[in-house]
């Protein structure tokens, strides 16, 4: 990858940046992708790395052939690169490759059954993605740390819950940053609190890791992160790799949720000797190309500098919020005064227009991709929208009722102020001609 110093040049690193998409008027427009929290397009450097590695690709851990040996050692080296990127303590931690964040959390939820006692409490929070809530529910006693009136995690409630459970909380599992509001949680402060009360901490880094610097290690060991998970497809490497990092000793005892080839050293019909972690956790043939992609994206992000990316995306977010505020019928959620502790994610609605219809308008009129709905964080969105319990009960009783929701803009490092200007002028146009647009889209979407 060439040396890039200025954020304006980030665009040329992305595949498909100039792709034209059809509009409702029959014309074509350069696609604007404001849905990076869902998934990001690949870096060109990632595609190139895959092409370059392809002639050398062979099965990992399975062969004496030159290519197989090369693939195997390359695969193992990748663990170090990934661990270094997030400041893992490689003396203590193991890096396990999985499919995505969801699989990583599910895996950990099974593996901790072996470590924690039966009555263990897991503290999740009101702002979690379903992937950091549902896997815990059927295995542990789960409680949820509350949020404050702006939607931020309440550290006061976290502390109260840790005290209330008298040492039974074994894990605090928290998003590094919310995929709905973009709020960045103070993970090291939370780690310190969790450790003080005898709990470990898991950080769901699906949103944080691609957009801001992070270190699991800290100068003060009580603030260190025990477990971290994230997904390659949200960091410009959409080739099916996710990561689970945690203390090696957690995975030493017990058996992984999936077993089979690649996990065992010796097997008879009545004896099994498992490999040490991470191998015992990765049943079946590993996703070598997915790991190559992830590592190349990490190298590219490091060259660009995570601090620069973070600052640029924050500036873009502040700019967007300020411009959205000038459209009178836009409703913004969360704290819009200070966006320093926010990633590039902006949830909003337009008074009088359904979130789903607005998302289609942006796509069909402007070629702008956003996400709408609840973003797999229904309890959080219900709270942000102040949906009364009776209404939620009504929806539980009648599955045909439509879901409430919001529209979400989420930035990648390649988005620009000019793209935001295009969005703003379209939103203004819709706002000024609301009745006409609603009539048109009722017909289109019926």
Ligand X SMILES: Cc1ncc(COP(=O)(O)O)c(C=O)c1O
Query: What does the binding site for ligand X look like in residue numbers (CB under 6 A)?
Result: 37-38, 100-102, 129, 131-132, 175, 179, 204, 206-207, 231
* Cα–Cα dist 242/234, whole Å: 10
With b meaning 16 or more CB within 10 Å and e meaning fewer, what string describes 176-204? Answer: bbbbbbbbbbebbebbbbbbebebbbbbb
Q: Which is nearer to ligand X, 107 or 355 (CB)?
A: 107
Q: Which is nearer to ligand X, 100 or 339 (CB)?
A: 100
Q: Which is nearer to ligand X, 353 or 406 (CB)?
A: 406
Residue 88: Cβ within 10 Å count: 24
Maximal C-alpha separation, the chain: 74
Q: Which is nearer to ligand X, 120 or 377 (CB)?
A: 377
Residue 123: Cβ within 10 Å count: 27
CB of 211 to ligand X, least distance (A): 11
CB of 207 to ligand X, least distance (A): 5
Place of tokens 């404050």: 148
- Kindly give, in sequence order, each residue whose CB lies less than 8 Å from that of residue 22, ignoring residues fewer than 6 positions away: 28
Q: Which is nearer to ligand X, 323 or 355 (CB)?
A: 355
CB of 125 to ligand X, least distance (A): 11
Q: Which is nearer to ligand X, 100 or 320 (CB)?
A: 100
CB 83 within 8 A of CB 95: yes
3-state helix, strand, coil in the chain (%, to 5): 40, 20, 40
Q: Which is nearer to ligand X, 231 or 349 (CB)?
A: 231
CB 60 within 8 A of CB 289: no
* Cα–Cα dist 295/297, whole Å: 5
* Cα–Cα dist 155/191, whole Å: 11
Please state the φ and ψ torsions of residue 410, each to the nearest 5 degrees.
Answer: -140, 130
Tokens of 190: 């939370």
CB of 205 to ligand X, least distance (A): 8
CB of 102 to ligand X, least distance (A): 3
- Kindly give, in sequence order, each residue whose CB lies less than 8 Å from that of residue 214, ignoring residues fewer than 6 positions away: 86, 87, 176, 187, 203, 205, 208, 228
Q: Which is nearer to ligand X, 241 or 320 (CB)?
A: 241
Tokens of 393: 């009960």
Q: Which is nearer to ligand X, 124 or 339 (CB)?
A: 124
CB 93 within 8 A of CB 342: no
CB of 229 to ligand X, least distance (A): 8
CB of 390 to ligand X, least distance (A): 29
CB of 228 to ligand X, least distance (A): 12
Residue 93: Cβ within 10 Å count: 25
CB of 384 to ligand X, least distance (A): 15
Pairing of strands 227-231, 200-204: parallel
């Amino acid at each position: 990858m060439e040396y890039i110093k200025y954020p304006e040049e980030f665009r040329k690193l992305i595949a498909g940046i100039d792709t034209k998409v059809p509009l409702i008027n029959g014309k074509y427009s350069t696609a604007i992708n404001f849905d990076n929290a869902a998934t990001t397009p690949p870096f060109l450097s990632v595609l190139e790395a895959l092409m370059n590695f392809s002639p050398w690709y062979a099965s990992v851990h399975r062969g004496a052939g030159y290519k197989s040996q090369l693939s195997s050692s390359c695969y193992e080296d990748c663990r170090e690169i990934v661990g270094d990127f997030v400041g893992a303590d490689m003396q203590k931690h193991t890096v396990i490759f999985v499919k995505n964040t969801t699989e990583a959390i599910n895996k950990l939820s099974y593996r901790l059954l072996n470590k924690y006692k039966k009555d263990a409490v897991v503290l999740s929070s009101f702002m979690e993605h379903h992937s950091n809530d549902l896997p815990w529910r059927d295995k542990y006693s789960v409680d949820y740390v509350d949020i404050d009136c702006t939607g931020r995690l309440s550290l006061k409630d976290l502390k109260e819950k840790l005290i209330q459970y008298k040492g039974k909380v074994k894990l605090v599992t928290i998003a590094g940053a919310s995929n709905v509001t973009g709020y960045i949680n103070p993970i090291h402060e939370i780690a310190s609190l969790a450790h003080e009360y005898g709990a470990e901490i898991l950080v769901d880094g699906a949103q944080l890791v691609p957009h801001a610097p992070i270190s699991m290690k800290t100068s003060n060991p009580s603030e260190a992160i025990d477990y971290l998970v994230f997904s390659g497809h949200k960091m410009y490497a959409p080739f099916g790799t996710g990561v689970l990092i945690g203390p090696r000793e957690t995975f030493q005892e017990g058996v992984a949720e999936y077993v089979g080839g690649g996990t065992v050293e010796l097997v008879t019909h009545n004896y099994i000797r498992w490999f040490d972690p991470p191998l015992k956790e990765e049943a079946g043939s590993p996703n070598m190309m997915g790991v190559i992609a992830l590592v190349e994206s990490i190298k590219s992000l490091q060259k660009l500098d995570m601090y620069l990316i973070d600052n640029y995306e924050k500036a873009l977010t502040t700019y967007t919020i300020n411009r959205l505020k000038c459209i009178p019928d836009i409703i913004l959620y969360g704290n819009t005064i200070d966006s320093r502790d926010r990633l590039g994610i902006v949830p909003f609605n337009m008074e009088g227009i359904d979130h789903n219809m607005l998302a289609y308008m942006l796509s069909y009129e402007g070629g702008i991709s956003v996400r709408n709905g609840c973003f797999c964080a229904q309890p959080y969105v219900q709270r942000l929208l102040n949906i009364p319990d009776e209404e939620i009960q009504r929806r539980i009783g009648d599955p045909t009722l439509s879901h409430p929701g919001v529209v979400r803009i989420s930035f990648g490092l390649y988005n620009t102020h000019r793209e935001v200007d295009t969005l703003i002028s379209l939103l203004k146009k819709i706002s000024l001609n609301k009745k006409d647009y609603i009539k048109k889209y009722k017909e289109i979407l019926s």
